[in-house]
Amino acid sequence: MPANMRLSPLAFWALAAAAAAVLFARAVITGWPSAGGVEGRLQEIVLTHGTLPRAATAMLAGATLGLSGLLLQRVLRNPLAEPSTLGVSAGAQLAMAAATIHAPALMAFSVGLVAFAGGLFTVALVLALTWKRGLEPVSVVLAGMMTALTANAASAALILANGEYLFSLFIWGGGSLTQQSWGPALSLAVALAVGLAASALLLRPLALLSLGDAAARSLGGAVSLSRFLVIGVAVWMATTVAAQVGIIGFVGLAAPALAALSGARSLKQRLVLAPVIGAILLWLTDGLVQFFAGPGGERVPTGAATALLGGPLLIWLLPRLKLFEWPSLAGGAAQARRAARPLVLLALLAALACIVFAVAIVAGRGPDGWTLASGQLLADLADLRIPRLVAAAGAGAMLGVAGVVIQRITGNPLAGPEILGVGMGAGAGLAAVLLASATAGLGWQMGGSALGALAVLLLILALGARGGLGPERLLFAGIAANALCSAVLTAIIALGNQQSYMLLQWLSGSTGRVGASEALAGLVGLCLLAPPLFLAARWLDLFPLGPAAARSLGLAVGRARFLLVACAALLTALAALFVGPLSFIGLIAPHLARLLGLGRAWQQLLGGLLIGAALMALSDWLARMAAFPYQLPIGLFAALLGGPYLIYLLAKGAERHG
Amino acid sequence: MTGTTGQSIENGSGGPAPVSASGSDVQGVPLYRLRGLTFRAGGRAIVHPIDLDVPPRQVLALVGPNGSGKSTLLKMMARQLRPSGGAVELLGRPVTTMSDREFARQVAYMPQFTPPAEGMTVRELVGLGRFPWHGALGRFGPDDAAKVEAALVQTDLTEMAGRMVDSLSGGERQRAWLAMMVAQDARCLLLDEPTSALDIAHQVEMLKLVRKLAGGSGVGVVIVIHDINMAARFSDRIVALRRGEVAARGAPADILDAAVLKRIYGLEMGILPTAGLPVSYVP
């Protein structure tokens, strides 16, 4: 593109602001009190207590998030840091959901405080976990995302367990900006003012921090203290937004990045521009949401809409963004010894999986406590338990194998079907199918999930390939895809109809509705898709050498990658249909296989398959037993089993490498 | 690839005249014949039309300042980059007519940055070099195993064969990758700055090994290398690039010359005569 056709960044933002202003003016003019009497009085109230504070809230929330994101990115030297990638918003949501159910008095006392406690707790957890890795950006974001996903799963379970009572919380989770008063706007204004004042005071220490700890300390900065102060302020701003209007993703991530791309070089310039851009972004989005709202009220919460707009924006940004150079993650992963007798080890794993299966079929809780079923009882129960077990174990096996493939292709031990948004992509595909027809059959559902997963995976690989599939870019693309797809899901769930409930159930991963036909479909899928991967084991041996070396060894890299990716996406989609998108099994099973010393591709594939199947069967059994007679979502259980383990793995890897 | 071979030769002869002191020193059939090889990116020529022959049994060093196009040239020879114009012939056949594995049996390429190859033993890494011969499903036979052992012996890695690649030092790791290329049993090795991360002792060790391979099994070697003195010590011929064009080519003794070095690097450099080859230095 010739240079003279480019819009100057400032002109672009002025135009965006003008567009938002026009939309706002239109809303004001439509709502202007025209009639006389009571009706006119009512219109006046709607205008002064609805339309006007809403615009103010949008701008203030956007500015607060932009500032919060900028501070977090600065202080952690991490271009991916923002309230939602660090788990702040998810933590706030979980705290509020839990408080609503178990301690309503706390919520009555101060919603903001509950949210702040939740957000602060998650961020402290994430930072403590990655402290030993020197708060290295990708690990921080990874730990943050895992914490966030786990917290989301827990929130979804709470909502499901308490039914209609909390459904409004989910709509809140989508970030609705509808206002009845000036209260939220005032709270936000206070938060923003405090944040701006604090940033002005901490300007110099902040500038020092961006040089890195060692340099900052050698220049005499009090590194830890200023860092904690800044984080505290940023979290408080983000949780205030979460408490007042709900989770609004992306603004915190996009506003600072866009400010930098718009030519704000110094910290002072960015401190001004990031909040301004954040305000414009959210104001414009909210204006568009209102513009497209039907007569029955808006269909999409604004928070979900920001993600819809922000996802593509982020994907566009990705190649243009300079990511900090950090020591390669690859060196940080835990080194594995090699198994002396891999075949014996694999046989042991298979035996272990069989034991888990047997326990899951035979053992259970009844009205009279624990029982071991036998005879006629076993025959009766088997009809109920076996399809579930087959579906769960099959899904675990599929995720395990898919995880091995994805980790090997990307040469990135932290990649996995969940983190890269493949599972969420499957959800978006499923949502599209359900939206078209609420009674779509299993085949259609599978097809939709598979297409969604494939589209996401191809998009991510295409994006990541530009940066040589480095872990940072890949994760960044994964975050964008995850947020984009979950925005679609949130928007549809917020409709509050029958499909919403189905999707919510899917999101938390429930095997409850699995019958014999589903189990059979899963088994057939596994038998069709997994064996070809074993035939391609030599390809998978070559991929970790990097594309250049693999090509020079005579591998047709592009074609092989496409075939393997397609296979992995299909497996993930099929598995997600049964156990939901956030189980982490696809991340953990390959890791465990590697740690046990299964290094060759075929060994790791087989090990990942067995471990995935056993773990998922175990999760399913625990999910049935833990809160008997109620059944918890299996996906949640797997995430609760797996998330902490993976976080432990991250911390352990750091110790070895100091 | 565009352009037929015939046109390319015309293009090539119209390109920059090679500055050669010893003229053509190619004996027999060349491994590689490059004619008018060009690479453009974003409308800018990174590599101007270049003609080059790579003989067997020789080490050819590609030198030049940063951004002179030497890595790009090597990548085009390795089929890692598609040339914008010109032709590459390998043993008299255009490389575009070869399948991936067919090409990999003839040419082994080491990228500038080698990943840590986690969770793999040295012997397994070297064993991957046999992929072009047995493919995805073929049997890893006794012949393959013998080639792997031979490669380990040649690179003096036998004692480390059971160790994990990511536990090796930088120099040992480079040697393991070289061993993989040896096991590939190719006619030509293309090495992109194999010594850039090594200290001087390991640089010499690596380059001696490369030298030995070229002498012993008769493979041709093309090596991109920064240090002009090292290049002179361990190569038979030097091709110097500057801004994507050949600035000089010839025997090491001819390149180690103040006027030639000035032309390559744009820098006044001095030459110290020694008992063997002269040594260049920055005054």
Distance between CA atoms of residues B51 and A151, nearest Å? 62
- Cβ atoms B45, B38 nearer than 8 A: yes
Q: Is residue A68 in a domain?
A: yes
Question: Which residue of B lies nearest to A594 if distances are taken between CA atoms?
Answer: B119
Claim to verify: residue A402 and residue A293 sit in the same structural domain: no
Whether A541 maps to a domain, the answer reads: yes
By the 10 Å C-beta count (0-12 exposed, 13-18 middle, 19+ buried), B236 is classed as middle
Q: Would A353 be classed as within a structural domain? A: no
Q: Confirm whether A551 is domain-assigned.
A: yes
SS3 at position B170? helix
Concatenated DSSP letters of A411-470 = T-TT--TTTTTHHHHHHHHHHHHHHH-TT--HHHHHHHHHHHHHHHHHHHHHHHHHTTT-
Check B131 against A542: CB less than 8 A apart.
Answer: yes
| Structural domains of chain B ordered from first start | 56-79+99-268 (3.40.50.300)
Contact A599 B120 (CB under 8 A): yes
User: Which of B99, B115, B121 is opposite residue A411, by nearest beta carbon?
Assistant: B115
**pLDDT, mean of each 10-residue run, chain A (658 residues):** 55 86 84 76 80 87 92 82 84 86 80 88 84 70 76 74 60 62 85 89 74 60 73 90 81 85 81 91 86 63 74 68 46 58 90 90 77 76 83 92 88 73 84 78 81 83 62 68 75 71 74 76 89 89 84 84 83 83 81 84 92 90 76 73 69 48
Please name the member of B104, B114, B118 whose beta carbon is closest to the beta carbon of A553: B104
Within this chain, do residues A394 and A302 fall inside the same structural domain, yes or no?
no
Cβ atoms of residues A135 and A74 within 8 Å? no
Same domain as A404, residue A281: no
C-alpha distances in angstroms, A142 versus A137, A310, A471?
A: 8, 20, 11
Question: Is the CB of A331 less than 8 angstroms away from the CB of B116?
Answer: yes
Task: Indicate whether this model's pTM tops 0.80.
Answer: no
The residue type at A161: A
Looking at CA atoms only, how far is residue A536 from chain B in angstroms? 6
**B118/A554 Cβ within 8 A:** no
CB spacing of B167 vs A335 below 8 angstroms: yes
Partners of residue A338 in chain B, C-beta under 8 Å: 119, 121, 164
Residue A613 is predicted with a pLDDT of 93
- The 10s digit of each residue's pLDDT in B132-180 is 888 878 888 899 999 999 999 988 889 988 888 878 888 888 889 999 9
> In B15-79, which ranges are continuous DSSP H helix?
70-77
Best mutation target among B109, B118, B188, B190 (most A Cβ atoms within 10 Å) is: B118
- B9, pLDDT greater than 60: no
Q: Token match 């010359």: residue? A: B257
Indicate if the alpha-carbon torsion angle B207, B211, B216, B221 is positive or negative.
positive
Helix or strand or coil: residue B225?
A: coil
Q: Is residue A480 part of a domain?
A: yes
Which of B71, B112, B131 is the best residue to mutate to test the A interface, defined by the most A CB atoms within 10 Å of its own CB? B131
d(CA A590, CA A433): 31
The verdict on a CB contact (< 8 Å) between A335 and B101 is: no
Contacting residues of A for B121, CB less than 8 Å apart: 338, 599
Where do the DSSP E strands lie in chain B? 32-41, 44-54, 59-63, 85-90, 93-94, 107-110, 188-192, 220-224, 237-242, 245-250, 270-272, 279-281
> What is the count of structural domains for chain A?
2
The angle, 0 to 180 degrees and rounded to 10, between the axes of the packed helices A516-535 and A375-410 is 40
Q: A96 and A227, same structural domain?
A: yes
A544 vs chain B: nearest CA distance in angstroms? 6
CB A249 within 8 A of CB A310: yes
Dist CA B232 CA B251 (whole Å): 8
Element (H, E) at A370: strand A369-372
Looking at this predicted complex, what is its ipTM? 0.76
What rounded mean pLDDT belongs to chain B?
82
Tokens of A60: 């203030």
Smallest CA–CA distance, residue B139 to chain A, in Å, is 11
Do A632 and A547 share a structural domain? Answer: yes
Test mutation, B100, B134, B148, chain A, max A CBs within 10 A: B100
Q: How far apart are CA B232 and CA B238, in angstroms?
A: 7
Chain B residues whose beta carbon lies within 8 Å of the beta carbon of residue A656 = none
Which chain B residue's Cα is nearest to A553?
B104
Closest CA to B155 of B190, B184, B135: B184
Amino acid at position A531, single letter = P
> Exposed (0-12), middle (13-18) or buried (19+): which is B199, by Cβ within 10 Å?
exposed
- Report residue B191's pLDDT band, with 50, 70 and 90 as the boundaries: very high
Distance from CA of A317 to the nearest CA of B (A): 20
Whether residue A92 contacts residue A118, with contact meaning beta carbons closer than 8 Å, is answered with yes
Query: What Rg do the C-alpha atoms of chain A give, in angstroms?
Result: 25
C-alpha angle A558-A561-A564 in degrees, rounded to nearest 5: 150
Question: Does A492 map to a domain?
Answer: yes
Residues in chain B: 283
Which chain B residues are closer than 8 Å to A335 by Cβ? 118-119, 164, 166-167
Instruction: Give the nearest chain A residue to B190 (CA atoms).
Output: A552
The C-alpha of B112 sits at a distance from chain A's nearest C-alpha, in angstroms, of: 10
Chain A residues with beta carbon closer than 8 angstroms to that of B113: 546
> Tell me, what amino acid is at A269?
Q
B239 phi and psi angles, rounded to 5 deg: -115, 120
Q: Which of A258, A291, A317 is the last residue of a domain?
A: A317
- Record: contact B131-A554, CB cut-off 8 A: yes
Interface contact flag, A338 B164, Cβ < 8 Å: yes
Residue of B nearest to A597 (CA): B119
Q: Is B136 within 8 Å of A539 when comparing Cβ atoms?
A: yes
**Residues from chain A contacting residue B164 (CB–CB below 8 Å):** 335, 338
Give the three-class secondary structure for B256: coil
Residues of A in contact with B109 (CB under 8 A): 548-549, 552
Which residues of B fall below an 8 Å CB-CB distance to A? 78-80, 99-105, 107-111, 113-121, 124-125, 128-129, 131-132, 135-137, 164, 166-167, 177, 184
Residue B237 pLDDT exceeds 60: yes
Pairwise CB contact (< 8 Å): B111 & A331: no
Contacts of B261 (CB under 8 A, 6+ apart): B228, B255, B267, B269, B271, B280
Residue after which a domain boundary falls, among A260, A286, A317: A317
- Contact call for B121 and A336, based on CB within 8 A: no
What pLDDT is recorded for position A331? 43
Q: Which of A535, A552, A553 sits opposite B137 (nearest CB)?
A: A535
Check: CB of residue A95 under 8 Å from CB of residue A227: no
Using DSSP, state whether A627 is helix, strand or coil.
coil
- In this structure, the answer to whether residues A441 and A570 fall within a common structural domain is yes
Cis bond before residue A629 (omega within 30° of 0): yes
Taking one residue from A and the other from B, the number of pairs with CB-CB distance under 8 angstroms is 88
In this complex, the residue of B100, B101, B114 whose CB is nearest that of residue A549 is B114
Please give, rounded to a whole number of angstroms, the shortest distance from the CA of B269 to a CA of chain A.
Answer: 34
Q: Hey, is A193 helix, strand or coil?
A: helix
Of A616, A145, A139, give the one whose Cα is nearest residue A418.
A145
Among A413, A542, A599, beta carbon nearest to B128: A542
Contact A338 B166 (CB under 8 A): no
Whether residues A309 and A403 fall in one domain: no
Q: Which residues contact B70 (CB under 8 A, 6 or more apart)?
A: B62, B63, B64, B224, B241
Rg (chain B; Cα; Å): 19
**Amino acid identity, position A18:** A
Q: How far does B63 lie from chain A, in Å, by closest CA?
A: 21
User: What does the pLDDT read at residue A587?
Assistant: 83
Q: Could you tell me which chain B residue has the CA closest to the CA of A598?
A: B119
Same-domain check for residues A309 and A397? no
User: Distance of CA A337 to CAs A407, A420, A650, B116, Å?
Assistant: 18, 28, 17, 15
Report the pLDDT value the prediction gives residue B17, as an integer from 0 to 100.
39
Residue A363 covered by a domain: no
Give me the domain span that covers residue A89: 56-317
If asked whether residues A194 and A289 sit together in one domain, one would say yes
Domain boundary among A271, A296, A317: A317
Both A408 and A300 in one domain: the answer is: no
- CATH assignment at residue A123: 1.10.3470.10
User: How far is A488 from chain B, CA to nearest CA, in Å?
Assistant: 37
B108 contacts in A (CB within 8 Å)?
552
Q: Do B120 and A555 touch (CB under 8 A)?
A: no
Which residues in chain A touch residue B110, judged by CB atoms under 8 angstroms apart? 549, 552
Q: How far apart are CA A542 and CA A560, in angstroms?
A: 11
Is A21 within the bounds of a domain? no
Q: Are B164 and A411 in contact (CB < 8 Å)?
A: no
Residues A440 and A300 in one domain: no
Chain A positions touching chain B (beta carbons under 8 Å): 328, 330-331, 333, 335-336, 338, 411, 413, 535-536, 538-539, 541-542, 544-546, 548-549, 551-556, 594, 599-600
